[in-house]
Amino acid sequence: MTIEDKKKALEKEINALKEELDESINTVSQEVEHSFEPKKLIQKYPLKALGISVVAGFLLAYKAGSKKTSSPLMDSIKKELSSRAITLIFEGLSNNSSKKD
């Protein structure tokens, strides 16, 4: 086996390892993305999500209440976030109850 043949063999091995590494990285990144989707987490843990949203709501209300004036922008953001949280929680609860049936 010549040096050129050894060089080509090493290049093939390096390319194969690189492809395996790329596939592993893609697989891990997809798994991480899937495991941190808020909708999936809320569906999996609806009561914990409810508790977290209630605590977050109290903290936001306390922080907003400590100011003398409330801005219309902050009020609309709070309303929108509350609405979305409630919708996601009830979707999660209904999906969990339909899975149990």
Q: How far apart are CA 92 and CA 100, in angstroms?
A: 12
Q: Do residues 46 and 87 lie in contact, with contact meaning Cβ atoms separated by under 8 Å?
A: no
Rounded mean pLDDT of the chain? 80
The answer to whether the pTM exceeds 0.85 is: no
The pLDDT of 12-26, averaged and rounded, is 90
Asked whether residue 58 carries a pLDDT value surpassing 60, the answer given is yes
- pLDDT tens-digit profile of 40-56? 778 888 888 888 888 88
Least confident interval from 2-6, 13-17, 32-36, 80-84: 32-36
Long-range contact set of residues 33-39: C-beta below 8 Å, sequence gap at least 24: 38/88, 39/88, 39/91, 39/92
| Better-scored residue on pLDDT, 70 or 17 | 17
Element at 13 (helix H, strand E): helix 3-35
DSSP state of 49: H
| Better-scored residue on pLDDT, 10 or 79 | 10
Asked whether residue 75 carries a pLDDT value surpassing 70, the answer given is yes
**Domain locations along the chain:** 1-36, 37-101
Q: What angle do CA 45, 82, 65 make, to 5 degrees?
A: 120
